Amino acid sequence: MPRLAGLRMLATVGRAQMASRRLLSSAKSNPPMSFPCIDRLESRQRDLMAGPEPTYEKVVTGYSLYKHKQPFVCDHGGVLPQFDIAYETWGTLNSDRSNAIMVHTGLSGSSHAHSHDKNLKPGWWEKFIGPGRALDTDKFFVICTNVLGGCYGSTGPGSVDPRTGERYATTFPLLTVNDMVRAQFHLLDSMGISRLYASVGASMGGMQSLCAAALFPERVGRLVSISACARSHPYSIALRFAQRQALMADPNFNRGFYYDGVQPHVGMKLARAVATVTYRSGPEWELRFGRRRRAPEQPPALCPDFLIETYLDHQSERFCLQYDANSLLYVSKAMDMFDISQSVTQRLQAQREQAAASTETPPAGTVCMHVNEQEAAGEVSRAETSDEIMEDLVAGVKNAQQPALILGVQSDILFPVKQQKEIADILRRAGNSKVTYYELDALYGHDTFLIDVVNVGAAIKGHLENA
């Protein structure tokens, strides 16, 4: 009885509070703002609660699968019992298998770089690949993979762990760019390709192409690295950190175990909006959008109002269910950790060899650690001098003596041209006399490698086809 009386009292108090709010509402000076953007998010949340169906699993079709049946030990000590790599090819492999080019993707890229009979949809590098184009399929056999850790056919956090029958989620091992490249070379082994004619990539793909040339110098004939770096710098790390924080703050993230529930679509949308700002340039948006508003005759709104806001809203809305949130976390963290320095490469190799020799379960990776905890654990790197950093980087690429094309874009804020100059510099200081560095004056920022077919394409074609 006391509990029933308490409930009645709460109900009475609640009705009184509602009546009070109505009175206050009727006396407000101004009507409340409308939030159609929040209404749309809430509507999507209700739709997703009706039945989870990850859209990203349907984005790419028509790829082939390489299945690696042996355990794969990762650089940070984690183990995959087996893995798949999704890949697509264009052109014809010649009789001595010497004309293969590996195209490495950016963070969220799929293997679908160009259309073909099994998938007629235009690829993300459609105008760069084909007969007579930058990557001439009349001359070369072009291969593109979805990286290890991705969600477009290759094994990633959304894949099923064969040991448990459940999706890995955040039990997936932390990866490095080196891990991604080593997995790609297992694919090449299965195809009987002992040496690539060239390793080509932009953004994170440029990290991979540099890594391939440094780790497998005898297996890479030429190097093309566009809008990339020899080591991730604090500014780009900070931007990717902000994206991961926005994603992990979504209540639906559930520490990565969201596959049987609602996808963290709001966090993904925010993360993509931040990323999109870094992919293009201010000058381009001045010309493209200026300060124009969607409906200038209407009062200002807190939801997307300026055309630049509606653009960001559209781009992030389109992406938020087309890529797995955990893949974004894992692959972006691998980008942050990238460093071609000799000391880092040797340390990762030692960790991997130690893990391979151990029968114990590797420790779980730590996603979040406060700086004070790092200091207590003795994990804060000491400040190196610029000379020490440069010497370490030079030592890391000492075996990369292939003809190299390094491209930078002046308007790129995510990977500023200073970072491409650094790649060219360390290669030259390591004794490579065949380094070509171009700096493009383009408006499109980091995404120039996807858009500027004339200048980027001509530079690549000249490097690949000239002796």
Report residue 226's pLDDT band, with 50, 70 and 90 as the boundaries: very high
Q: Does position 23 have pLDDT exceeding 60, yes or no? A: no
What helix, strand, coil percent values describe the chain, rounded to 5?
A: 45, 15, 40
* Token representation of residue 63: 């790829």
Average pLDDT, integer, range 382-403 = 92
**Residue 221, number of CB atoms within 10 A of its CB:** 18
Average pLDDT, integer, range 3-13 = 44
Average pLDDT, integer, range 69-90 = 97
Pairwise CA distance, residues 96 & 192, whole Å: 10
* Token representation of residue 58: 């349907």
Ramachandran angles phi, psi of 220, nearest 5°: -125, 120
Q: Does position 44 have pLDDT exceeding 90, yes or no? A: no
Average pLDDT, integer, range 17-28 = 56
Q: Does position 284 have pLDDT exceeding 90, yes or no? A: yes
Q: Does position 176 have pLDDT exceeding 70, yes or no? A: yes
Among 203, 236, 316, 327, the active-site one is: 203
Q: Could you give the residue ranges of the DSSP H alpha helices within 280-385? A: 282-288, 307-319, 325-337, 342-357, 371-376
Least reliable range by pLDDT among 46-55, 81-90, 255-264, 302-311: 46-55
Q: Could you give the residue ranges of the DSSP H alpha helices within 36-130? A: 36-49
* Token representation of residue 255: 């520490």
pLDDT attached to residue 40: 83
Q: Give the 3-state secondary structure of residue 86.
A: strand
Q: What is the pLDDT of residues 443-462, one digit of tens each?
A: 999 999 999 999 999 999 99
Pairwise CA distance, residues 60 & 111, whole Å: 8
Among 76, 104, 446, 463, the active-site one is: 446
Q: What are the contacts of 67-75 at 24+ separation with CB within 8 A?
A: 68/183, 68/186, 72/179, 72/183, 72/186, 73/352, 73/355, 73/356, 74/173, 74/174, 74/175, 74/176, 74/179, 74/352, 74/355, 75/175, 75/176, 75/178, 75/179, 75/348, 75/349, 75/351, 75/352
Pairwise CA distance, residues 254 & 311, whole Å: 29
Nearest to 426, CA basis, from 466, 386, 461, 455: 386
Q: What is the pLDDT of residues 347-377, one digit of tens each?
A: 999 999 999 998 565 555 555 544 444 444 4
Helix (H) or strand (E) holding 436: strand 435-440
Average pLDDT, integer, range 107-133 = 97
Least reliable range by pLDDT among 95-109, 221-235, 254-268, 374-388: 374-388
Residue with the larger pLDDT of the pair 74 and 17:
74
Share of the chain above pLDDT 90, in %: 78
Q: What is the pLDDT of residues 300-350, one digit of tens each?
A: 999 999 999 999 999 998 888 899 999 999 999 999 999 999 999 999 999
Pairwise CA distance, residues 121 & 154, whole Å: 20
Contacts of 141 (CB under 8 A, 6+ apart): 89, 90, 91, 92, 93, 94, 99, 100, 101
If you average pLDDT over every residue of the chain, what do you get?
Answer: 89
Q: Does position 21 have pLDDT exceeding 80, yes or no? A: no
Report residue 28's pLDDT band, with 50, 70 and 90 as the boundaries: confident
Among 324, 412, 447, 452, the active-site one is: 412
pLDDT attached to residue 376: 43
Report residue 193's pLDDT band, with 50, 70 and 90 as the boundaries: very high
pLDDT attached to residue 384: 75
Least reliable range by pLDDT among 57-61, 273-277, 340-344: 57-61
Q: Does position 3 have pLDDT exceeding 50, yes or no? A: no
Residue with the larger pLDDT of the pair 15 and 335:
335
* Side chain identity, residue 455: N
pLDDT attached to residue 374: 47
Looking up tokens 């390709």 gives 193
Helix (H) or strand (E) holding 141: strand 141-145
Q: 203 an active-site residue?
A: yes
pLDDT attached to residue 42: 80
pLDDT attached to residue 381: 56
**DSSP character at residue 428:** H
Q: Does position 154 have pLDDT exceeding 70, yes or no? A: yes
pLDDT attached to residue 30: 80
Q: Is the dihedral of CA 447, 451, 455, 460 positive or negative?
A: positive
Report residue 15's pLDDT band, with 50, 70 and 90 as the boundaries: low
Helix (H) or strand (E) holding 104: strand 100-104
pLDDT attached to residue 60: 85
**DSSP character at residue 394:** H
Pairwise CA distance, residues 83 & 68, whole Å: 5
